[in-house]
Amino acid sequence: MTAAVVRAWQGVRWYLREFTGEARWDRYLEHCAQHGHEPMTRREFERRRADALEANPISRCC
């Protein structure tokens, strides 16, 4: 029972982090570790991600 609740909570958390793009940072760190790069700071990373949205507007329908 508790295990199921924990799993459900983890699922929701995973979904929300993926949905909002928060998980991208973890993946970036993973990627850097794999390839031996020095990662940029989180501030710099998020700034680039936000600025990339500038030219790719999110369309919202009626």
Partner 1 sequence: MSGTVITGSSASGHSPAPPGRRLKPRSVAIWGLVAVVGAVCWTVLALARGETVSALWVLFAALCSYAIAYRFYARFITFRVLRVDDRRATPAERLDNGVDFDVTDRRVLFGHHFAAIAGAGPLVGPVLAAQMGYLPGTIWIVVGVIFAGAVQDLTVLFFSMRRNGKSLGQMVREEIGVVGGVAALIAVFAIMIIILAVLALIVVNALAESPWGVFSIALTIPIALFMGVYLRRLRPGRVLEATGIGVALLLLAIVGGGWIEDTGLGDALTLSREWLVLALVVYGFVASVLPVWLLLTPRDYLSTFMKIGVIALLAVSLVIARPVLQAEAVTDFAREGTGPVFAGSLFPFVFITIACGALSGFHALIASGTTPKMVAKESQVRLIGYGGMLMESFVAISALIAACVIDQGLYFAMNSPAGATGGTAESAATWLGGLGFDTTAQTLAGAAAAVQEDTLISRTGGAPTLAVGISQIFSDAFGGGGQAFWYHFAIMFEALFILTAVDAGTRVGRFMLQDTIGNVWKKFGDLSWRPGTIIASAVVVGLWGSVLYIGVTDPLGGVNQLFPLFGIANQLLAAIALTLVTVLLIKHGRLRYAWVSGIPLAWDLVVTMTASYQKVFSSDPRVGYFEQRQVYADARDAGEVLAPATDRSEMDQVVFNSTLNGVLQALFAVLVLVVVVNAVVVIARAIRAGQLPTTEEPPTPSRLVEPAGFWPTPEEKEALAEHQRLVGAGAGRSEAEEK
| Interaction site with partner 1 (CB under 8 A) | 11, 14-22, 24-25, 27, 30, 34, 42-43, 45-47, 49-62
Contact between 25 and 43 under an 8 Å Cβ cutoff? The reply is: no
Smaller CB separation from partner 1, 38 or 54: 54
* CB 12 to partner 1: min, Å: 11
Q: Which residue's structure tokens are 């794999």?
A: 34
CA end-to-end distance (rounded Å), the chain? 42
Contact between 11 and 17 under an 8 Å Cβ cutoff? The reply is: no
* CB 1 to partner 1: min, Å: 20
* CB 2 to partner 1: min, Å: 19
